[in-house]
Amino acid sequence: MERDFTARGNHDMGGLTAGEINKNEHDYALWEKRVDAIMMLLTNDLKIMTVDQLRKGIEALPPDAYDKMTYYERWISSITNGLVEAGVISTEELRSRMAKVSSEPLREKES
Amino acid sequence: MTETSDHEHLHQYDPGHEHPLQADQDDSITYFKVMEAAVRNLLIEKKLITAEQIREKIEQMDARVPANGAKIIAKSWVDLEFKRKLLANPRKAIAEFGHDIGPLHLIVLENTEKVHNVVVCTLCSCYPRWILGLPPDWYKSREYRSRVVREPREVLQEFGTNISLDREVRVHDSTADMRYLVLPMRPKGSEGMTEDELVPLIGRDAMIGVTEVTV
Amino acid sequence: MPQFTVGEKVRVLSQWPPSPPIHCRTPYYIRGCSGIIERYCGDFPNPEELAFGRVEPRNLSLYRVRFKQRDLWDSYQGGLSDMIDIEIYENWLEKI
């Protein structure tokens, strides 16, 4: 059956043409596991966010960004948007804290 | 996903960021690593979470490895009563192994001479992480998610798995609240093996359904 | 209570919601296609409401629907009996 494939979200890729599967794997980095842990705490423990909110935020990324960002980059981007949307953190707090973190030596960020 | 070509693009989201973004190594600084640290610090400062809770979650994450699934599969191969329970009530059966899947539901898909099952999440990356741990990169890739629903046999071939045309290939798209664990066929030649000897034969990919178990 | 029964023939609604941030869990490739109810999975909070952080989302019946691969793709190269099972909420299904 012929169907129109023009109105789908970028994340909704089932059935599209794509290349060979790259089977290389990377060990998850600590920061990636921390993103995952933050999400688990926000959903399961604190009930501040839902998994579907996380997905919605990821799906709302511009297609170009979705394709170029790594998996946990998409997650932290969506988590951050969700927290701002929920009023848990403000954009000003985020901006100043990111500036502060950027100016610190890396090992402090890794602690 | 390659990151070398991402630098220019990601800078659009952070005009003030001066560090060149690096490949994904823990000793490099990227915009999103900074974001993670900032969000984590803010949440800790607001007393919503603690550093200890993060550590605990990561420990739990690290304890979830494919061998957990392999133990379940091996038991179901040697203990038919357990296999019956695993297929009928997976939640209860895996609780015997200390695994809790929370509000999600597990469906165990039994491979037979007639059917080969393979699992995907085309919309994101749903995966039985409570048992197998975090999914492999390819499971989350555009290539796997796009193709396995439309040309599953070609995809399986890329994993070295050839399924004869008279055997049904059944794809499961994990779109909602179910999670899936494939129960592979016990391989020929393993008849005399004990449960403990069977465990190391059972790899993660066979429990996703892209490979079969061999001796 | 579930409104569809196992073995019943259903069609996935062929509706195209606006682009994100509207969120739904019905893949594009299956919309408008017909299949058979494989099982009723239980009632779960509506993801389309959860996505907006609604405190008390409506529960919806969730089904697994089985489709013949040959009905989905004109050029399907695999076996005649190849299938695909997808979880779909009742608000996306209609009787046929």
- Report the pLDDT averaged over residues C40-50: 95
Q: Is the pLDDT of residue B40 over 90?
A: yes
| H helix or E strand, kind and range, residue B12 | none
pLDDT bracket for residue C17 (50, 70, 90): confident
Q: What digits encode the pLDDT tens for the residues C25-43? A: 999 999 999 999 999 999 9
Asked if B58 is an interface residue toward chain A (Cβ–Cβ < 8 A), one would say yes
Chains that touch B (3 or more CB pairs under 8 A): A, C
Give the residue from chain A lying closest to B17, CA to CA: A102
pLDDT bracket for residue C22 (50, 70, 90): confident
- Report the pLDDT averaged over residues B89-118: 94
Asked if B49 is an interface residue toward chain A (Cβ–Cβ < 8 A), one would say yes
- Report the pLDDT averaged over residues B37-54: 98
Encoding tokens for residue B133? Answer: 């741990």
Q: Which of A2, A3, A53 to mutate to test the interface with C (most CBs of C within 10 A)?
A: A3
Asked if C12 is an interface residue toward chain B (Cβ–Cβ < 8 A), one would say no
What does the longest C-alpha to C-alpha distance in chain C come to?
46
* Nearest by CB: B6 against A68, A72, A93: A68
Q: What digits encode the pLDDT tens for the residues B147-193? A: 999 999 999 999 999 999 999 999 999 999 999 999 999 999 999 99
| C38: phi then psi, degrees, rounded to nearest 5 | -90, -40
- Contact between residue C23 and residue C51 where contact means Cβ atoms under 8 Å apart: yes
**Domain spanning A30-110: CATH superfamily:** Nitrile hydratase, beta subunit (1.10.472.20)
The amino acid occupying position B24 is D
- Report the pLDDT averaged over residues B87-116: 94
Give the residue from chain B lying closest to C68, CA to CA: B170
Residues of chain C positioned with their CB less than 8 A from the CB of A60: 20-21
* Nearest by CB: A76 against B35, B102, B137: B35
| H helix or E strand, kind and range, residue C68 | strand C59-68
Q: CA of A4, closest CA in chain B: separation in Å?
A: 16
Asked if C25 is an interface residue toward chain B (Cβ–Cβ < 8 A), one would say yes
Please state, in angstroms and rounded to a whole number, the distance separating the CA atoms of residues B44 and B51.
Answer: 7
Q: Delimit the domains of chain A by residue range.
A: 30-110
- Report the pLDDT averaged over residues B29-48: 97
In sequence order, which ranges of C2-76 are alpha helices (DSSP H)?
A: 47-50, 69-72
**Intra-chain end-to-end CA distance of chain A, in Å:** 55
Which residues of B are known catalytic residues? Answer: 121, 124-126
| H helix or E strand, kind and range, residue C93 | strand C93-95
Encoding tokens for residue A46? Answer: 């604190």
Q: Cβ separation of A5 and C28 shorter than 8 Å?
A: yes
Q: Cβ separation of A53 and C16 shorter than 8 Å?
A: no
Class of domain C9-95: mainly beta
- Contact between residue C68 and residue B156 where contact means Cβ atoms under 8 Å apart: no
Burial class from Cβ neighbours inside 10 Å (0-12, 13-18, 19+) for residue B166 reads exposed
Residues of chain C positioned with their CB less than 8 A from the CB of A5: 28-29
Helix A71-85 crosses helix A91-103 at what angle (to 10 degrees)? 140
Please state, in angstroms and rounded to a whole number, the distance separating the CA atoms of residues C77 and C73.
Answer: 9
Domains of chain B: 7-62 (no CATH), 65-208 (3.90.330.10)
Q: Is the pLDDT of residue B10 over 50?
A: no
Q: Is the pLDDT of residue B5 over 70?
A: no
Coil, strand or helix at B65: coil
Query: Closest Cα to residue B201, out of B80, A74, B189, C13?
Result: B189
Q: Cβ separation of C82 and B168 shorter than 8 Å?
A: yes
Coil, strand or helix at B37: helix
Encoding tokens for residue C70? Answer: 């040959």
Q: What digits encode the pLDDT tens for the residues C83-93? A: 999 999 999 99
- Residues of chain A below pLDDT 70: 1-7, 106-111
Residue A43 DSSP class: I
How far are the Cα atoms of B174, C21, C46 from residue B138, in angstroms, in the given order? 16, 26, 29
Coil, strand or helix at B109: strand
Coil, strand or helix at A86: coil
pLDDT of residue A4: 56
